Structure 1
Amino acid sequence: MDKKEFRVLIKYCFLKGKNTVEAKTWLDAEFSDTAPRKSTIKDWYAKFRRDEMSTEDGERSGCPKEVAADDNI
């Protein structure tokens, strides 16, 4: 299962009123090998509490994906 799908499941737990421990326990029971870490679940819960309900990756600062080099120009 990929990150986006886990984010949706974490959001589902949040909307159902589960706390982070309950969400982690449920995800571990269902997806024992690939479940996200507790810190990941806490981070997403914090975003959802701030009404940031999107499960998409946000903009990041830093280097762009495409780098201009002599070969590319």
Structure 2
Amino acid sequence: MDKKEFRVLIKYCFLMRKNTLEAITWFDAEFLDTAPGKSTIKAWYAKFRHGEISTEDGECSGRSKEVVTDVNIRKIHKMILNGRH
């Protein structure tokens, strides 16, 4: 199973009012080698408790793809060459 499917199952356990220990035990019994870790289950339970009901990945912060363009690279290259001592 992939991560998305496990998240849906974690949400199912949460909605069935299982606590994290019961969910961990169930995952370990049903999915021997591929069960998500305890910290993963606890983290998703915390998200669900705080009102996040989506099982999708959140948006990652960081540099956008538009920042690295050929035009910007040329501008920075010119700035470096012009500013040499």
TM-score by length of 1: 0.86
Instruction: Name structure 2 gaps, 5 residues minimum.
Output: 71-85
Give 1:7's aligned residue: 7
**RMSD in angstroms over aligned alpha carbons?**
1.6
Query: Against the structure 1 CA distance between its residues 54 and 68, is the aligned structure 2 distance closer, same or farther, given a 3 Å change threshold?
Result: same
Give 1:40's aligned residue: 40
Give 1:59's aligned residue: 59
Query: Against the structure 1 CA distance between its residues 65 and 21, is the aligned structure 2 distance closer, same or farther, given a 3 Å change threshold?
Result: farther
TM-score by length of 2: 0.74
Structure having the higher Rg: 2
Q: CA–CA distance in 2 between the matches of 1:14 and 1:24? A: 11
Instruction: Name structure 1 gaps, 5 residues minimum.
Output: none
1:67 is displaced (CA, Å) by 7.6
Percent identity over the alignment is 77
Query: Against the structure 1 CA distance between its residues 65 and 24, is the aligned structure 2 distance closer, same or farther, given a 3 Å change threshold?
Result: farther
Give 2:22's aligned residue: 22
Q: CA–CA distance in 1 between the matches of 2:23 and 2:45? A: 10
Give the total of aligned pairs: 70
